[in-house]
């Protein structure tokens, strides 16, 4: 259905019920009035105050494809490469089976998990060392999944590029796969930055991951402190955060407390069991939504008001259908 917005207002105020994408039955909001307030702040602030932070795996890629085919994670794309030594695959599997249950253990407090996660990413880096590896292998596999991106991802990235809104793709996975897939899908616009774990080479052989290590518990904007990207976005206090895991909601941690943050969560697995947690964590929960329609609807409103302002018309007085 695209990002239709049915907005009729004489004072520029947007009612959430008029945003068609938000009225869909699979779009859930704990507090619609809060969502409405933030949208109006975004609309009034304009594109120059906006930034978007997104997870990659199962947020930019789909959680479910039309043909039911699986979508590998960024580490999964690497692990599917044929030239990897058998011992690498075995050891890496062992690590996964040891640490993944800890990562998702609902009883262990996060403070305790951090050490285990650092251990996992460190051991994984050590394993990813000492053998030759050609990026072309990742490119070949990633290329097969260009169509596994959410519907209208291209339109979303076009919107963001046109509005010059910085996009941070933050992934605790493997950056080489992320960049490869986004690049082959022609989405690596100049306003897109990928912060993730990248392969490092020494003397022609793999030598683990480059620093800083990005794991599930430091996967937020604080890790950017002092970087060029931080300088670019630190004045942009209107933030859209998108993710599919509960931890993704914290990706804007590190930005000034006064910021307005809209957290969008894509929920697919174990919907009933997870619903309450997602509703308490994200402002908007999208259940089995494999599109970018909701973030696009927000951007359409921001762009519409921006254009009216540029045209010398301070408030929205137009009726705009099917933008």
Angle at 166 between CA 162 and CA 170, to 5 degrees: 130
Which residue of 55, 221, 283, 289 would you call a contact of Mg ion, by CB under 5 A?
A: 55
Q: Examine the residue annotation and report whether 55 is marked as an active-site residue of this protein.
A: yes
> Which of these is catalytic: 11, 18, 31, 55?
55
Binding residues for ligand M7G, rule CB under 6 A, total: 21
Nearest C-alpha neighbor of 4 from the set 253, 306, 297: 297
Instruction: Tell me if residue 57 is catalytic.
Output: yes
Say if CB 54 and CB 243 are below 8 A apart: yes
The catalytic residue among 4, 11, 18, 57 is 57
Compare residues 42 and 99 and give the one whose CB is closer to ligand M7G. 99
- Give the pair of three-digit tokens for residue 81: 């490469």
Which two three-digit tokens encode residue 14? 């947007």
Task: Return the residue of 51, 54, 124, 291 that touches ligand M7G, per CB under 6 A.
Answer: 124
Q: Does residue 181 sit in helix, strand or coil?
A: helix
Task: Give the count of residues interacting with Mg ion (CB under 5 A).
Answer: 5
Considering the rule CB under 6 A, would residue 283 count as an interface residue with ligand M7G? Answer: no
Contact 130, 205 (CB under 8 A): yes
Judged by CB under 5 A, does residue 36 bind Mg ion? no
Q: Name the residue nearer to ligand M7G (CB basis): 103 or 303.
A: 103
As measured in angstroms, the least distance from the Cβ of 123 to ligand M7G is 8
Q: Which does 221 bind (CB under 5 to 8 A by kind): ligand M7G, Mg ion, none?
A: none
C-alpha distances in Å from residue 295, one per residue of 51, 281, 302 = 12, 17, 11
Q: Is 58 in the site for Mg ion (CB under 5 A)?
A: yes
Of 65, 44, 24, nearest in space to 294 by CA: 24
């Amino acid at each position: 259905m695209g990002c239709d917005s049915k907005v009729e207002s004489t004072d520029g105020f947007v009612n959430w019920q008029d945003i068609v994408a938000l009225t869909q039955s699979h779009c859930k909001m704990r507090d619609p009035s809060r969502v409405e307030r933030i949208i109006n702040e975004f609309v009034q602030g304009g594109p120059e105050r906006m930034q978007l932070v997104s997870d990659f795996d199962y947020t930019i890629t789909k959680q479910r494809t039309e043909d039911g085919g699986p979508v590998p994670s960024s580490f999964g794309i690497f692990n599917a490469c044929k030239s990897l030594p058998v011992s690498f695959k075995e050891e890496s599997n062992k690590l996964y089976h040891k640490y993944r249950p800890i990562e998702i253990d609902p009883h262990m407090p996060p403070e305790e998990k951090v050490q285990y996660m650092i251990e996992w990413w460190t051991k994984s880096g050590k394993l990813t060392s000492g053998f030759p590896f050609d990026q072309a292998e990742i490119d070949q596999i990633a290329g097969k999944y260009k169509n596994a991106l959410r519907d209208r991802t291209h339109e979303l990235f076009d919107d963001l590029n046109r509005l010059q809104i910085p996009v941070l793709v933050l992934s605790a996975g493997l950056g080489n796969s992320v960049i490869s897939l986004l690049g082959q899908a022609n989405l690596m616009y100049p306003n897109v930055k990928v912060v993730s774990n990248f392969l490092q080479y020494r003397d022609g052989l793999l030598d683990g991951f480059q620093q800083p290590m990005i794991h599930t518990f430091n996967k937020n904007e604080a890790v950017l402190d002092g970087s060029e990207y931080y300088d670019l976005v630190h004045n942009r206090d209107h933030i859209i955060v998108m993710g599919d895991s509960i931890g993704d909601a914290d990706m804007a941690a590190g930005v000034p407390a006064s910021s307005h943050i809209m957290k969008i969560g894509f929920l697919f697995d174990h919907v009933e069991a997870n619903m309450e947690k997602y509703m308490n964590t994200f402002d908007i929960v999208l259940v089995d939504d494999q599109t970018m329609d909701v973030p696009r609807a927000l951007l359409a409103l921001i762009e519409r008001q921006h254009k009216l302002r540029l045209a010398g018309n301070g408030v929205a007085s137009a009726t705009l259908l099917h933008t």
